[in-house]
Each structure stands twice: as C-alpha cells, then as structure tokens.
Structure 1
Amino acid sequence: MTGRARDEIEPLTRWLALLILPFLAVASVLLYLLPTETERLFAWTIQPPLTAMLLGSAYLGGIWFFVHVVWQRRWHRVRHGFPAVVVFATLAGAATLLHIDRFHAGHVSFITWLVLYVTTPFLVLGALLANRRSDDGLAEEGDFRIPFRVRAALGSLGGLALLVGLALFLVPQAFLSTWAWDLTPLTARIVGAVLTLPGMVNVWLFVDHRWSAFRWIYQAQLFSLSFIAVALVVARGDLQWSRPAAPLFVAGIVLSLLGYSAFYWWCERHSNLRDEGAPGSRLRRANAG
C-alpha cells in the first residue's frame, strides 16, 4: 500500500531497546539457567525455582521483542508491546518497593534491579508517547485482516490473564495456598506482573485487525511460552498437584502454546508480509543490489 504516513520507530526508541537488551540477557541466564542460585546471584532469593524460570521466560520473550524494536522499521509492528512493558515494569517496581526488605541490600544485582524498575516504566512510557503519532492505522501490503470473532476470543483470553495477573498483584494473600506452586506475597506479585504481559497484548486485538501489528509480538509470546513449557517439565517437582490450580495452569500453558501456534500459522497462511526490518532481509536486499 502506498502513501503511508510516517510509521517509523523513533531513533531514541531503538537506543532504549539496545539499552534494555543486555539486562534482559543477563537476567535470563541467571533466572532460567541458574534458578537455584538466586540467593547468591540475584536481587532476591526466589523460591521455588519454577518462579525464577517463569520470570526468566518472560525476559527471554522480552529479548525477542526488543530485538525487533531495534530491527523493524515500522512502529505499528511493535507498538502493542509497549503498553504491556509499561504495566509489567510498573508492577515489578511497585512490588520491589512494597517488599524492599526481601531484597539483598547492597548486592549489585539488587542495585541494578532497583534502578531499572524505578526508571524503566517512565522511559518506556516516554517512548510510547514519542511514537504516538507514528501509526497511520493502515494495513501493509500483503497484510491480513483478522476476523473479529477470532480477535474477540483471543482478546477475551487476554483480558482474563490480565485480571488474574492484577488480582495476584493486588491481593497476593488470596493465592498463597491455592496457586499452582508455593508463593510468597512478593513472588505472587511478580507472577501477576508476568501474566499481565500477554493480557495487555491480547486486549489490543479488540481495536486493531492488522496481522502486521501482532505478528512479531506473537513471535515473542510463542518464544516465551515455549520456555515456560520447558520450565514446567524441568521444575515439575515444584508444582503442587493437590491444588486444582496446578493442572489448570499447566493445561493453560499447553493450550496457549498450541492455540497461539495455530493462530500464528493460520494468519501467516493468509498474509504475505515481508520481514523488511529483520537482519536477514537487509542482507538479502544488499546482496540483490
């Protein structure tokens, strides 16, 4: 489609993504690969390891997302991920201040965590506002219009995940003895923050029908879900199977992974979008020239 408005990612937004990526990479290694070493290596002691791996999975999805913020050209391709990051970072920062006594004061990882979650909500919100006029609302050439019934179904699931995440954050005590694995008030709030990520993404399906506005964000979600599924196998001993929430959570992750994969494949079959912002596509264009 010709005659597009700007729809470009502001340069400072790319720099912000580049700034965030190393922290996500380090945190992913510490939490996902070394989940039993958080007392020694991380900002606070996370028990059981499954909670650490869940948070690490969210960071791994964040890496995929912010890499595309750096490489993509068009703002609308990554736009709907930014409100999710704002909410997640705000809740994580609030949880930190509410439970500051649980953190390893003076440890380099705590200082890094505190600085990040005090500043990131404002920086990401600033990037969102700086790009607010960049999206023209038009579909791309080769785009696919997602039917409303599909968007409503996924948006409703996102709304449910968002509500559960907010409930975990606001009233963590209500979940301590009923969640799929053992939680503390702090980890309940962090798990709740993680659940708001897919929730905040999916609710935008109610107002945006363009597959191009979700394709690369759903790649990040599938990436994160895959690691969560592996974590449920690796740390299966942490699950409290006597609680109904355990099989429900596991089933929810498996069904989400299968459902999102089917949705992604279906949308891809009906679209003909180009990965014009990806490193490989730039290399192909350079070779063609």
Structure 2
Amino acid sequence: MSDRIHPYTRIVGAIIVPFLVAAFMLLYPLAATTDRFFAWTILPPITAMLLGSAYAGGIVFFVHVVRPNRWHAVRYGFPAVLVFATLLAVATFIHLDRFHFGFLAFYVWITLYITTPFLVLAAMIVNRGEDSREPDEQEVTLPAWVRILLAVIGLCSLVVGLTLFVAPQLGISGWAWTLTPLTARVCGAILTLPGMVNLWMLRDPRWSAFRQIFQAQLISLALILLALALRGGELLWSRPSAPLLVCGLAASFVAYGALYVWAERRRRRLTPTTPRG
C-alpha cells in the first residue's frame, strides 16, 4: 500500500481552499456585515465568527491535503468534513427562505454545499485501502487513556451537535448566545467536527494520523476563543451555558495544545540525527 493521496483528492482540496479563504474573510473580520456580503444574514455576529473559525481550520486541513503528504495523515478529517458539509446542505434547504436570493454569495454557497458532500465522499472512496496502518519509523503512539478521554470528549461534542441540529429549539432556549433555528443547526454542525475526528482515536493510536488534523483544530479553537473575547457582550451570561462554554473551550485549547507539544517533543526525540561531516 502506497499511503498516497490520490490526485483527484488533491484537486478537490485545491478547489475547496479558495472558497474557505473567502468565507473566512467574510465571516470572521467582516462578521457584522453578513447582511450585505454573505449568503445569509447571521446574527449575532459571534455566530458568523464561530463558522469562520471552522472554515479557518478547514483551510489548514485542506492545505495538508493538497501539499505532498500521506493519506493516513489526513484520512480521519474526511468523515468529519463529509458530515459537516452534509448537515449544512440539509440546513440550507430547510431554511432556504433565510438566504439572500440574487446574491453571488448565495449561489456560491448553495453550489458548494450541493457538491461538496459528493466530492468528499468520492475522495474517501478513491483513497480507500491506501493506508497500510503501519507506524512510521519515528512514530509516537498515543496512550490509551488519552485516546479514550479525547474520544469521550468527541462523543459528547457529537451528541450535542446532532441534538442541536435535530432539535434546534433546545439550543434556542439554552445556548450561550441568541440563536435561530438555522444558526442552531449551523452550531450543531460545527460541533460534529471534533466529534467525528476524536472517535477515530479509539481505532488508531498513531500520532501521525492526527497530528495535522490537530493543527487545524488548534487554529479553530484559538479563533473561537478570540471571537468570544471580542464579542463577549453578545454572550448571555445569565445562562449557565455561557460560562460553561467559555471554560470548556479554554480547557480544550489547553489540553489539545499540551498534547500537541508533548507528542511533538517525543517525535523529535525519535527522529534520527544526521551525522556531520
């Protein structure tokens, strides 16, 4: 098995990256202008920044897909992207009346989410069997307790995300900031991303299989925390979910960062040095 990323998959990544960059720019620094420039008006702006943060992580992930790389280093990100894109496509058609018909951004959005689930699924199919599941020469194996803990966190995130998507009224009544049925479903779709990644840790102990995906997750978490700091006035602090969400995200960032640093230090120790001379 070659552990290669099929050329088709690289092409899909190269197509998706520019759209993610454009979406991030419209949703994160221009979060307050979605009524004029985006496919639909997102209020409050912190929801737009949350979605933009997810797209920023997507940029990092798909750059790894496009560059010279191995399939096993990115494979576990594809099921997460498939679920995320499918849920956003479903949410779009459920709430089609909320979108800005006639805007270029709307046509780009709907085209992207009609096609992306099929493109990503096809990429998973053409790359099937490429991963030999053999460890690298300088492989770091994640301890079982770390993988179980992260899988439990991921399962909680996945359950909450799917609950928000299926029953958005629960989010409207209890979320950390104001939601509509559409934004509740969008937040739910975002929460499925770490859930769909972390559950694979029960199957694969190789750090090399998650290292680059963790880079994307850390970027997303950092931007979400920055959004909370910049838009803290939009949080409904009277609801228990507000401090719980802030503390949970901060703790996740610290835990993910600590694991990344620990694993990278071990990986560098295992890397053979090139003799001089």
Identify whether the pair has TM-score above 0.5, normalized to the shorter chain. Answer: yes
Residue 84 of structure 2 corresponds to residue 61 of structure 1: no
The partner residue of 1:21 within 9, 12, 17 is 17
* Structure 1 match to 2:274: none
Gaps of 5+ in 2: 272-277
Question: Separation in 1 of the partners of 2:166 and 2:244?
Answer: 21
One-letter identity of the residue aligned with 2:27: L
Q: Structure 1 274/86 Cα, relative in aligned 2: closer, same or farther at 3 Å?
A: farther
* Structure 2 match to 1:256: 252
* Structure 2 match to 1:163: 159
One-letter identity of the residue aligned with 2:6: E
Residue 150 of structure 2 corresponds to residue 181 of structure 1: no
Q: Counterparts in 2 of 1:128-277, with a 5 A limit?
A: 128-272=124-268
Gaps of 5+ in 1: 276-289
Question: Separation in 2 of the partners of 1:72 and 1:238?
Answer: 42
Question: Separation in 2 of the partners of 1:274 and 1:43?
Answer: 48
* Structure 2 match to 1:102: 98
How far did residue 226 of structure 1 move? Answer: 0.5
**Matched length:** 271
Residue 79 of structure 2 corresponds to residue 88 of structure 1: no
Moved over 3 A (4+): 272-275
Question: Separation in 2 of the partners of 1:116 and 1:240?
Answer: 33
* Structure 2 match to 1:127: 123
How far did residue 272 of structure 1 move? Answer: 3.7
Question: Separation in 1 of the partners of 2:152 and 2:20?
Answer: 29
Question: Separation in 2 of the partners of 1:89 and 1:123?
Answer: 10
* Structure 1 match to 2:67: 71
Identity of aligned pairs, percent? 55
Q: 1:3-37: per-residue Cα shift (whole Å, max 9, x none)?
A: xx210000010011000000000000000000010
Give the match's secondary structure for 2:28: helix
One-letter identity of the residue aligned with 1:186: L
CA contact (8 A) 1:212 1:273 kept: no
